Chain A
Amino acid sequence: MAKDGPTPLERFLRGIIPENPVFRQVLGTCPTLAITGTVRQAITMSAAVMFVLICANLITSMIRNLLKPHLRILVFTLTIAAFVTIADKFLAAFVPDMSEKLGPYIPLIVVNCIIICRCEVCASKQGLAASAADAVGQGLGNTLALVAMATVRELLGSGSWFDIPLFWKEGTAGEQFRWSIMNQPPGAFITFGLLLGAVVWIDQLHQKRAAAAKR
């Protein structure tokens, strides 16, 4: 373990905004685009991702000294697949409607790049505490990003937030203001592109200000 590396707390904080897995590293784009139609779906999905991420990171960290370099990706994916099966069965048993809606995207967590990336970059080199902190931080960052996407799309596409109607009720005249494109694939792409641009823009402003302050 590197002595002068970041502490677990730093790792945790870093995952949330500065190294946000979705907006800064552009990883795990499939769920970001596919299941952000409503906030409820996004929360369910990111909870599942977080569970798998933490468990996979812990297991990888425990077996890191046994890993052979050429087989490590396979070991990571098999570990992840086992936990995804658990998450999938759990969701099917306790929230069947959500499980139905998320459909194939729960099993697709197996190939979610965020988890493989965290196993490779962090868990296979660090101890238990560091990997756990890293997993929780990255998981929260992912949750934040998914909820941000889902908020925009649900507000514009269905006029509600967390299934609570805000702008109009189903079947009233207000429904004509709905941006139905937001519920459909193009809306997902465009929202994600614009949010990504907004995050980069804010970052550039910060950098400019920091540079000005230095002078």
Chain B
Amino acid sequence: MEYLSQIVLIAIGAALINNFVLHYFVGICPFIGVSRRVDMAFGMGAAVTFVISIAAMLSWVLTYYVLQPGAPLAKWIAGLFLPAEIAAQVDLSVLTYIVYIFVIASSVQFVEMYLRKFLPALYKSFGVFLPLITTNCAILFACLYVMKMVVGVEPAEQWGLVPSLTLAFFAGIGFTLAIVIMAGIREELDHCDVPAPLRGPGITLIVSGILALAFLAFTGMDRKLEKMFKGDAPAVTAAQDAQVPTSASPVWKPPAQTDSPDTDTQRQ
């Protein structure tokens, strides 16, 4: 039950509360570049969801078995030609960024080849989006997030494959949600009289600011849900609720949000 609730919290956190685009600001380039029409936005979202799941899965496997300090596979390989006490200290975490970018680039290539061979219809609908994804920060960010939950964490709290996959998949869903909403708004914006200097990226950014404001409303949902899952916690009053810092995001707050108490002053 605890495991299941953890999974649900991760899923909701990744898709809504800490939406990758609107909370962590990753994947902004496609968010602005490809959000002109709803069908294209949906294609991009689907492609990202697809690749992000594969990349996060691969990077979890690599991080857990090869890259983390004292990883089993790395230790075993080093043990073949080094004395055991030196092999036990093997630490390849310096290589993480290079390995991740390699994993992403090759999995994009691989997905592309697979789709072209076996699912040509889907391949045609993804079109140019697949190669573009290689440089999408959202994918690398998901890999780094997974790394953060594996490297240097107590073994009991390390993430397994399932939480990592859930995070990545629902981050992709969140990305799709944000980009499709944005595309819907932009289709309407075409008929609006926007001041000349703001046309194009300017107005898109301002609209996404308002969208981000809307997504701020999900803040604190995870805390409520956690309490609901545990069941035994006493009911929280609004005053107590306001005292807790903004989001119970497990890994990073965006550095922009380091001054956390201000939401509380706003609310009072």
Name A residues whose Cβ lies closer than 8 Å to a Cβ of B. Answer: 26-27, 29-30, 33-38, 41, 73-74, 77-78, 81-82, 84-85, 88-89, 101-105, 107-108, 110-111, 113, 116, 153, 157-158, 175-176, 178, 180-181, 183-190, 192-194, 196-198, 200-201, 204
Known: A77-B105, A88-B97, A175-B265. A194 touches B206 (CB 8 A): yes
Q: CB within 8 A of A184: which of B202, B203, B257?
A: B257
State whether A85 and B97 are in contact (beta carbons under 8 Å apart), knowing that A188-B25, A200-B202 are contacts in the complex: yes
Residues of A contacting B27 with CB < 8 Å?
30
A33 to B105, CA, bound (A): 25
A35 with B256: in contact, given A184-B216, A185-B22, A200-B202 (CB under 8 Å)?
yes
Find out whether the CB atom of B202 lies under 8 angstroms from the CB atom of A78.
no
* In the complex, B208 has a CB within 8 A of chain A: yes
A27 smallest CB distance to B (angstroms): 8
CB-based contact A37/B258 at 8 Å: yes
In the complex, how many angstroms separate the beta carbon of A83 from the nearest chain B beta carbon? 10
Q: Which residue of the partner chain, among B23, B98, B144, B145, contacts A82 with CB atoms under 8 Å? A: B98
- Are B197's CB and A197's CB within 8 A? yes
CB pair B256–A193 under 8 Å, yes or no, is: no
Check A204 against B212 for contact (C-beta < 8 Å). Answer: no
Query: Is B2 on the interface with A (CB-CB < 8 A)?
Result: no
Q: Find A29's partner among B29, B256, B258 (CB 8 Å cutoff).
A: B29
Stretch at the interface among B60-68, B133-141, B167-175: B133-141
Among B94, B203, B216, which residue has its beta carbon within 8 angstroms of that of A89?
B94
Q: How far is the CB of A103 from chain B (nearest CB, A)?
A: 5
Say yes or no: B97 contacts A189, CB within 8 Å.
no
- Is B120 interfacial (CB 8 A cutoff)? no
On whether the beta carbons of A186 and B213 are closer than 8 Å, the reply is: yes
Chain A residue, CB-CB nearest to B246:
A184
Q: Tell me whether B26 is interfacial, beta carbon within 8 Å.
A: yes
Given contacts A84-B97, A185-B22, contact A113 B135 (CB under 8 A): yes
A51 CB, nearest partner CB in chain B, Å = 15
Question: In the assembled complex, which residues on chain A have CB atoms less than 8 Å from the CB atom of B216?
Answer: 184-186
B101 pairs with A180, CB closer than 8 A: no
Q: Which 4 A-B pairs have the closest CB atoms?
A: A189-B209, A193-B205, A180-B262, A201-B197
CB of A19 to closest CB in B, whole Å: 16
Chain A residue at minimum C-beta to C-beta distance from B205:
A193
A37-B257, A78-B101, A183-B256 given; A204·B196 CB < 8 A: yes
When distances are taken between beta carbons in the complex, the residues of chain B under 8 Å from A197 are 195, 197-198, 202-203
A103 to B255, Cβ gap below 8 A?
A: yes
Let me know if B24 is at the binding interface, CB within 8 A. Answer: yes
Q: In the assembly, what is the distance between CA of A178 and CA of B266, in Å? A: 9
CB-CB nearest in chain A for B135: A111
**Is there contact, CB below 8 Å, between B140 and A102?**
no
**B28 engages A110 (CB within 8 Å):** no
- A108 and B137: CB pair below 8 A? yes
With A104-B141, A185-B209, A193-B205 known, 16 other A-B pairs at CB within 8 A are A37-B256, A37-B259, A78-B101, A82-B98, A85-B95, A105-B255, A107-B97, A108-B26, A110-B97, A181-B266, A185-B256, A186-B216, A188-B25, A196-B201, A196-B205, A197-B195
Give the distance in Å from the alpha carbon of A14 to the alpha carbon of B172 in the complex: 37
Closest to A185 in B: B212
Q: Is the CB of A187 within 8 A of B209?
A: yes
Do B197 and A200 touch (CB < 8 A)? yes
Q: Evaluate contact between A104 and B144: CB separation under 8 angstroms.
A: yes
Chain B residue nearest in CB terms to A202: B197
CA distance A111 to B134 in the complex (A): 8
Q: Is B137 in contact with A41, judged by CB distance below 8 angstroms?
A: no
